[in-house]
């Protein structure tokens, strides 16, 4: 587990338990698109409200499994940006039904799903622990189901357009972040590396990491051994720093 994934899960569960005995809080802090100008804070508060145990369990299980490797890979700041932007985009796209209130972290968590598939598209995901599917195809299927539910499916009380907004917000943010990273590589900054840094990086125990992060660690450590510290990009050095700090 990582710091912000843990914080988000604890906050969502705590607020959910609070609303069980105070259901009026859901009406007060849900997001209603038509009231965005008079209640702008609900763009954020709606993400921490849930309509039942199945609703919150689906979202928190998704965050639990896909959030830590993504937060570790992106770093805390960029992970929070992705999560928040996905949630905001979900609220905005739900405006296609301006008089329908929405609640739940689904849009933000869908952004985390997309972020995971963006960086590890071929990583196998086991649905219900049984059925294997690559991360990229899982996102494609989820997108198709949301499009069907939003445009032609039977009414089911699910904010399908909010889910699509979560995907869209995450995709736009990642496109911007990756482009910015490429620009930084084309204008590399000089980063001082000491012998203690190299020793600290080489001492990282890959066996304790998630598979996708272990693969990235092996790649960077191989580059470090073969080409030296000067060949590492700022992003690769930051990646090693995050793990060695842990």
0.75 exceeded by pTM: yes
Instruction: Indicate the residue among 137, 152, 184 that finishes a domain.
Output: 184
My answer on whether 59 and 121 are in the same domain is yes
Using an 8 Å Cβ cutoff, are 167 and 92 in contact? Answer: no
What's the CA angle centered on 236, arms 245 and 192, to 5 degrees? 75
Burial class (CB within 10 angstroms; exposed 0-12, middle 13-18, buried 19+) of 65: middle
Instruction: Give 85's pLDDT tier (boundaries 50, 70, 90).
Output: very high
Task: Give the position of tokens 């980063």.
Answer: 191
133 pLDDT higher than 80: yes
Q: Identify whether residues 53 and 133 lie together within a single domain.
A: yes
Sign of CA dihedral 59, 81, 176, 174: negative
Buried b (16+ CB within 10 A) or exposed e, 42-60: bbebbbbbbeeeebbeebb
pLDDT in tens, 63-82: 999 999 999 888 889 999 99
Structural domain span for residue 124:
3-184
**Token pair of 148, please?**
């069907």
Residue 8 lies in a domain: yes
Are residues 216 and 168 part of one domain? no
């Amino acid at each position: 587990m990582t710091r912000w994934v843990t914080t988000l899960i604890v906050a969502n569960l705590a607020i959910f338990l609070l609303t069980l005995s105070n259901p009026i809080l859901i009406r007060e802090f849900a997001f209603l698109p038509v009231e965005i100008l008079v209640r702008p804070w609900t763009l954020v508060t709606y993400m921490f409200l849930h309509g039942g145990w199945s609703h919150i369990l689906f979202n928190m299980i998704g965050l639990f499994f896909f959030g830590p490797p993504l937060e570790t890979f992106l770093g805390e700041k960029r992970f929070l940006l992705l999560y928040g932007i996905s949630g905001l985009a979900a609220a905005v796209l739900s405006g296609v039904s301006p008089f329908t209130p929405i609640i739940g972290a689904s849009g933000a968590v869908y952004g985390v799903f997309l972020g995971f598939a963006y960086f590890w598209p071929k990583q196998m995901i086991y649905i219900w622990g049984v059925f294997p599917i690559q991360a990229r195809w899982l996102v494609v299927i989820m997108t198709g189901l949301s499009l069907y539910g939003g445009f032609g499916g039977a009414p089911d009380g699910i904010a399908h357009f909010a889910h699509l907004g979560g995907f869209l917000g995450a995709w736009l943010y990642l496109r911007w972040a990756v482009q910015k990273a490429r620009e930084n590589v084309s204008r590399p900054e000089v980063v001082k590396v000491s012998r203690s840094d190299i020793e600290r990086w080489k001492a990282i125990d890959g066996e304790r990491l998630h598979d996708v992060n272990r693969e990235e660690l092996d790649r960077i450590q191989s580059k470090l051994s073969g080409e030296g510290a000067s060949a590492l990009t700022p992003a690769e050095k930051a990646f090693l720093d995050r793990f060695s700090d842990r």
